[in-house]
């Protein structure tokens, strides 16, 4: 589904991603964990074309997407839920879905409609006339995910969905990610490793812009360094 091969990304003069390689296969949930400033967000921004890598190759469904404009990458089937949710302050939940709705040419059947979103997130039906600024953090996060689904992604990039949310809400997001998994592949960036491990098939550990370690979730749980650094509280 997604191949990232040896990418190098700079922000101005700072060298953030220093030769990163990762892969997401069809139907997988893959997590990317690492500490603050390790390059997790920049990895996603590189894939989206928001921070295009200077070197390296990114392929989606076998086609090279390096250097393409973000909106074309979205139209090819990648959805993006950024870290700070980025809810448009003046628009209602329903407005958000309307502007994000894309034609359904890629998928032969189904596809997301506003009605299907409301079945999936009943809470958002109640909030449809509310503006983003009138919602709680959890509701905004739900809206941010739901909005990106309107583009009918085959791969969803989600950046720290649990950040700032109460433990009870995080639990409900475990179920959410598991049910989304039926419909698409997911690349999940997290600092909360226990959340990430409970929903993912595989994981990568990133540090200083490089992949330090990768393997199945069981491998990661058993790895002492990973355990000490990211799971021990």
Partner 1 sequence: MDIASLLNCLADPGCMAGQIISGIIIAMVLFLVASGLSLILGVLGLLNFAHGSLYMIGAYFTYTVMASIGNFGVALILAPIGVGICGVILERFFIKRVYGLDALYQLLMTYAFILIFDDVVKFIWGIFDLSIRMPSLFRRPPVTAIGTIVPFYYLFLIVVGVLLVVAIWLFLSKTKYGKIINAAASDPEMLMCLGINVPFVYTIVFGLGSLLAGVGGALACPLRAITPGMGFAVIIESFVIVVIGGMGSILGTFVVALMFGLMRSFGILGFPFFELAFIYVFMAVVLIVRPAGLFGKVRI
Residues near partner 1 (CB under 8 A) are 48, 50, 69-71, 74-75, 80, 82, 86, 88-91, 95, 98-100, 102, 147-148, 150-151
Give whichever of 100 and 174 is closer to partner 1, judged by the CB atom: 100
CA–CA separation, 78 and 48 (whole Å): 8
Give whichever of 57 and 91 is closer to partner 1, judged by the CB atom: 91
Closest contact distance (angstroms) between CB of 72 and partner 1 is: 8
* Chain Cα centroid distance, residue 102: 19
Helix axis angle for 137-149 and 93-100, nearest 10°, is: 20
Q: How many CB atoms neighbour CB 133 within 10 A? A: 11
* CB burial string 140-176: b at 16+ within 10 A, e below: bbbbbbbbbbbbbbbbbbbbbbbeebeeebbeebeeb
Closest contact distance (angstroms) between CB of 24 and partner 1 is: 18
Closest contact distance (angstroms) between CB of 32 and partner 1 is: 18
Give whichever of 45 and 202 is closer to partner 1, judged by the CB atom: 45
Q: How do beta strands 14-24 and 63-64 pair?
A: unpaired
Give whichever of 152 and 200 is closer to partner 1, judged by the CB atom: 152
Give whichever of 87 and 226 is closer to partner 1, judged by the CB atom: 87
| Of residues 31, 127, 40, the one with CA closest to residue 144 | 127
Closest contact distance (angstroms) between CB of 157 and partner 1 is: 9
Closest contact distance (angstroms) between CB of 2 and partner 1 is: 16
């Amino acid at each position: 589904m997604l191949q990232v091969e040896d990418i190098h990304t700079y922000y101005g003069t700072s060298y953030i991603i220093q030769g990163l390689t990762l892969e997401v296969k069809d139907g997988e949930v893959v997590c990317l964990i690492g500490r603050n400033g390790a390059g997790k967000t920049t990895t996603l921004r590189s894939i989206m074309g928001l921070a295009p890598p200077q070197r390296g190759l990114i392929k989606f469904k076998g086609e090279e997407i390096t250097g393409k404009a973000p909106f074309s990458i979205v139209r090819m089937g990648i959805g993006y839920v950024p870290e700070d949710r980025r809810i448009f302050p003046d628009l209602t939940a329903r407005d958000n879905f309307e502007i994000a709705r894309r034609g359904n040419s890629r998928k032969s059947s189904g596809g997301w409609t506003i009605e299907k979103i409301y079945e999936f997130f009943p809470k958002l039906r109640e909030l449809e006339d509310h503006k983003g600024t009138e919602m709680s953090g959890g509701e905004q996060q739900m809206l941010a995910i739901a909005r990106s689904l309107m583009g009918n992604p085959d791969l969803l990039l989600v950046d720290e969905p649990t950040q700032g949310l109460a433990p009870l809400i995080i639990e409900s997001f475990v179920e959410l990610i598991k049910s989304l998994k039926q419909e698409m592949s997911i690349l999940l960036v997290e600092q909360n490793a226990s959340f990430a491990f409970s929903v993912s098939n595989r994981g990568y550990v990133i540090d200083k812009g490089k992949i330090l370690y990768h393997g199945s979730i069981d491998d990661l749980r058993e790895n002492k360094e990973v355990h000490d650094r990211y799971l021990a509280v």
